[in-house]
């Protein structure tokens, strides 16, 4: 996938009038570059996200999607490098304290397995402890 494909899906299949639910999409080399950071219109227009079921989180959270199924395999090294770079950029840009959280941590363990068992969630928590 890529931002354009997800935008189309969110608009036409899910009925999201603002389209792409995420602020950023990080490609895996299939339909966009491996580690390519695509900036969504929600970021450009500073719109709330639509990436989780919690309106509170969508109101304040920044949604970042890494393309891939991380129940079946790991994100690429380029995707992780891009996520780290984007996380550092956002940590410096956004003046308030925020934190890293995976989709499952927000939407509940019974709703989704996202980001998947092969996603380095613990590494992201160590790298961005209560700051990202």
pTM, rounded to two decimals: 0.88
Strand duo 64-66 + 34-39: pairing:
unpaired
Q: Is 34 helix (H, G, I), strand (E, B) or coil?
A: strand
Q: Say how many C-beta atoms besides its own lie within 10 A of residue 52's C-beta.
A: 22
Residues 5-24 have pLDDT tens digits of 999 999 999 999 999 999 99
Q: Running DSSP on this structure, what letter comes out for residue 10? A: H
More confident residue, 125 or 67: 67
Q: How far apart are the first and last CA of the chain?
A: 25
Say which residue the tokens 């395999």 belong to. Answer: 73
Q: What is the pLDDT of residues 47-58, one digit of tens each?
A: 888 888 778 888
DSSP H helix total and E strand total for the chain:
6, 3
Indicate the pLDDT class of residue 42, thresholds 50, 70 and 90: very high
């Amino acid at each position: 996938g890529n931002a354009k494909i997800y935008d189309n899906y969110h608009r036409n299949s899910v009925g999201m009038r603002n389209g792409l639910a995420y602020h950023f999409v990080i490609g895996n080399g299939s339909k966009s570059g491996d580690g390519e950071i695509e900036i969504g219109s929600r970021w450009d227009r500073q719109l709330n996200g639509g990436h989780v079921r919690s309106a509170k989180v969508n109101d304040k959270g920044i949604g970042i999607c890494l393309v891939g199924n991380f129940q079946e395999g790991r994100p690429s090294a380029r995707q992780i490098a891009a996520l780290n770079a984007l996380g550092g950029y956002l940590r410096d840009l956004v003046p308030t304290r925020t934190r890293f959280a995976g989709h499952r941590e927000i939407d509940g363990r019974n709703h989704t397995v996202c980001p998947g068992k092969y996603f380095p969630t613990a590494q992201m928590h160590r790298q961005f402890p209560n700051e990202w």
